[in-house]
Amino acid sequence: MRSSNPVLSGRGFARINPDVLNDRPNNLRDIKNPDTRPSVAPMSIEDVVLKSAMLFGVLALVGAFAWNANNPFLAMVGLFGGLILALVNSFSKKVRPPLVIAYAAAQGLALGSISRIYETAYDGIVTQAIIATGCAFGGVLLAYRSGRIRVTPKFTRVMMGGLIGYLVFTVVTLFTGRPSGGLGLLISVAAVGLASMFIVMDLDQIEKGVAARLPHEESWRMAFGLMVTLVWLYLEILRLISVLRGDE
């Protein structure tokens, strides 16, 4: 089974045994057992958590700089730089931690600048969006760990269909403008829901990667993929709150 997240598909996961991927591990304790681990320690959940925290720390620091600079040009630099780095990191056969960290810094420039623009228009919106993003992630994580949400082939097809449709919609609205009123609100809610469900798919692939004993450096790829989704979710929540609070 291949990942639905382009970041987590292809390169790193090409080395996974398909038989392992098709079986969700029921007990990850064996993976941590020194007697069952290979001579070179494989990736672990702790590795992914540590790398994710490091990347978000970089994003927060650079974001604070961009917020104080209050220069829209930094948003453009961050967006285009982040896009290029995302493509390089996604399709690179070898995991390159410096480029992953550079992506986090680029996103910091973009999010810091964009957040400042929204905050100027809607006082307190950034705090609301950060809290909402954290709650959404926590809720999805609990639902996934409890087994209430499972990643099945049908679930994957639906999510990928939704993503393609949303990407097409985004491109079209670059020329026509986003809908307002009730339709705009509905689309924003759907976008937040779609981004939230992709977190489930990221978590599933991380767990399968641990079970398949991917190399330790693949934790950078996993952390990168999770950051991509969470940044997307934050931006969609920011937009949704702005719609609820008034016309954009």
Least confident of 12-16, 152-156, 226-230: 12-16
Q: Do residues 52 and 63 lie in contact, with contact meaning Cβ atoms separated by under 8 Å?
A: no
pTM of the full structure = 0.82
Positive or negative, the Cα torsion across 92, 93, 95, 96? negative
* Mean pLDDT, range 51-65, rounded to an integer: 97
Whether residue 81 has pLDDT greater than 80: yes
Check residue 247 and give its pLDDT. 54
Q: Do residues 211 and 43 lie in contact, with contact meaning Cβ atoms separated by under 8 Å?
A: no
Other Cβ atoms less than 10 A from the Cβ of 177: the count is: 10
Check residue 178 and give its pLDDT. 81
Q: How confident is the model at residue 20 (pLDDT cuts 50, 70, 90)?
A: very low
Check residue 245 and give its pLDDT. 86
